[in-house]
Chains A and B, each alone.
Chain A
Amino acid sequence: MSKLLAWRGWLVFAVLAALPLLPWMSKYYMLLAFDALLFGAVAMSLDLLIGYTGLVSFGHAAFFGLGAYATAVLLERGVLSLWLCLGLAAVVVGLYALAVSYFATSRRGIYFALLTLIFAEVVYTVFRYTQTFGGSDGIQGLPPPEALPGVALDTPARLYYLVVAYLLLAYLACRVIVRSHFGRVLVAIRENEDRARFLGYNVQRYKMGVCLISAILTGLAGALYPGRAAYATPDLLHWSVSGEFLIMVMIGGLGTLVGPILGGAFFTILQEKVSSYVQWYNIVVGLVLVLIVLFVPRGLLGLRQALRGRAGREAA
């Protein structure tokens, strides 16, 4: 196995870790950075499915939201350990993902997308319209989780470092996976799933495996969310959230891992900044996204190559 991360990668994480030291990093910006990196991590997890395996999941909000509710349920009952929250989220999301992926991977193409969407909508409906988990209000006013007994994650800086650590570990895991035997088979499935079967690969098993990994990574990200927001609401499970995850992957650059992290961060910051100025922010956000898809179809990560290619053509 080659080096875990190139020096440029470590540099990026060093810069991220140094960010809170900047004088103008107010609480507001720290939490915005938290959201940007958290959703970047989610988009990266989704990229394992879309970019590497060619499976378009339209139900990732369910994984994220279930992870958030797992944490919320424990915090509400006074179980404050972050590790128990993450553990419960992984188990709940993992079991749900196994069921969804078993049915969804038995169908292809648009049917996979539709089945993930339908399952997610069932989850949304259960949480939104039954009172078991607080109905439309969700679970509110949660205390912060504790990394260790007595060490509460109650400051923006602590939360921020938590999400940086999570992003680093999740990124390393994804990087190792896409370069492994398993990752190569995923790409073969994306390229030609019938031929992969005739080479002896049990395609459905690989698809379920990658769904499980992607879902658990997304669920763990979701489990970190109530620590920052102090709530879990059904809005987190809504299909439009799944749509936003897809957009993040698309504008970042499919099949690159780093691209979707950028895409998630970019989308989150863009939406937040524009919405703080105008009511009709979605029009602006939508316009920017359309321009990206039209002019940089390979995503933000492809921007550099696109510019370099243009410069090369002009020089020639």
Chain B
Amino acid sequence: MTRSGAVLEVEGVAKNFGALAALAGVSLTVRAGEVFSVIGPNGAGKSTLFNVISGLHAPSAGRIAFNGEDITGIGPEVINRRGLAKTFQITNIFPGISVYDNVRVAAQSRVPVSGRLSSLWRLPNVEGPVMELLGAFGLTARRDDLAQNLSHGEQRYLEICLALATEPALLLLDEPTAGMTPGETKEATALIRRIAQSRRLTVLLIEHDMSVVMGISDRIAVLHFGQKIAEGSPDAIRSDPQVIDAYLGGAED
């Protein structure tokens, strides 16, 4: 894979729930090392697109390739092991165990022992990568607290830690700043950008907060009623009349 090569190729993906077409023929290509954002009003199909890419739902039509390999319709656990990790719009952590144990169980998914018989009696040491992640997100002091006792903002960070602990090449962030205050959002955005760069991550981001998207993205695609209506640089998107009409204009929630 070259530096400018395609990490993720989505080709003509459609997803129907009964009579509802949540996605209709969406195509996009995410290149290595970039931050690619998908925006659109609520109900535009953004989360559905993520669920299809990450393997939760099989698409009704179309094809998805990750690092050149077809991953259409295979399960999330297999896709994750190929190097694609996803965070959730609604915080999705392990509430009743400590912050440290949350990240540990994610990190140990990548050790060689995982999935072997010897995992029944061995506990691999993943302290290094776990503490590094907790440090990067300012959670070191909270390591022994139950995840359910974290503040909302801290839980959002833990959410990202879990995904990063599986050492992905491509990170899917589903509204990472959902529910954060404007101040927290700004801080989180800068942090995500910094970590993506230091880990050489490719990021696919869903957001409806325009300030987040404009500051962080290399390219942006706009979804509207399940269809892609525009794609381009932040500046191009900002001035695209169709986008303004559909999204920036009046339809925003």
Contact = CB atoms under 8 A, between A and B. Distances in A.
26 contacts: A177-B121, A179-B123, A180-B122, A180-B123, A181-B108, A181-B113, A181-B120, A182-B119, A184-B101, A184-B108, A185-B105, A187-B105, A188-B94, A188-B97, A191-B97, A194-B92, A195-B93, A195-B94, A196-B105, A198-B86, A198-B92, A199-B106, A199-B162, A199-B165, A200-B109, A202-B115
* Most chain B CB within a 10 A radius of its CB, from A179, A181, A195, A205: A181
Contacts of B85: 198-199
Q: Which 6 pairs of residues, A with B, have the shortest CB-CB distance?
A: A191-B94, A200-B80, A181-B119, A200-B109, A188-B105, A200-B81
B54 A198 contact: yes
Nearest to A213: B120
A200 B110 contact: yes
A313 to B, nearest CB: 20
A202 B166 CA distance: 14
B96 interface: yes
Given A187-B97, A192-B93, A181 B122 contact: yes
A191 B119 CA distance: 20
A197 interface: yes
Contacts of B92: 192, 194-195, 198
Interface of B: 54, 75-77, 80-81, 85-86, 88, 92-97, 101, 104-106, 108-111, 113-115, 119-124, 162-163, 165-166
Contacts of B123: 1, 179-181, 184
Contacts of B114: 181, 200
A133 interface: no
Contacts of A197: 75-77, 80
Interface of A: 1, 176-177, 179-182, 184-185, 187-188, 190-192, 194-203, 205
A297 B142 CA distance: 28
Contacts, number: 89
Contacts of A200: 77, 80-81, 109-110, 114, 166
Given A192-B94, A201-B77, 7 more contacts: A177-B121, A181-B119, A191-B94, A192-B95, A195-B92, A200-B166, A203-B77
Given A192-B94, A197-B77, A201-B77, A180 B105 contact: no
Given A181-B114, A200-B77, A195 B120 contact: no
A19 B124 CA distance: 39
B110 to A, nearest CB: 7
Nearest to A184: B105
B115 A198 contact: no
A123 B59 CA distance: 41
B219 to A, nearest CB: 25
B119 A180 contact: yes
Contacts of B94: 187-188, 191-192, 195
A191 B102 CA distance: 10
A298 to B, nearest CB: 13
Contacts of B124: 181
Nearest to A181: B119
A199 B75 CA distance: 11
Contacts of A176: 120-121
Contacts of A194: 92
Nearest to B108: A181
Given A180-B123, A184-B105, A184-B123, A191 B77 contact: no
A194 B109 CA distance: 14
Contacts of A198: 54, 76-77, 80, 85-86, 92, 163
Contacts of B105: 184-185, 187-188, 196, 199
Contacts of A179: 123
Contacts of B165: 199
Contacts of B75: 197
Contact of A199 (B96, B109, B115): B109
A192 B163 CA distance: 14
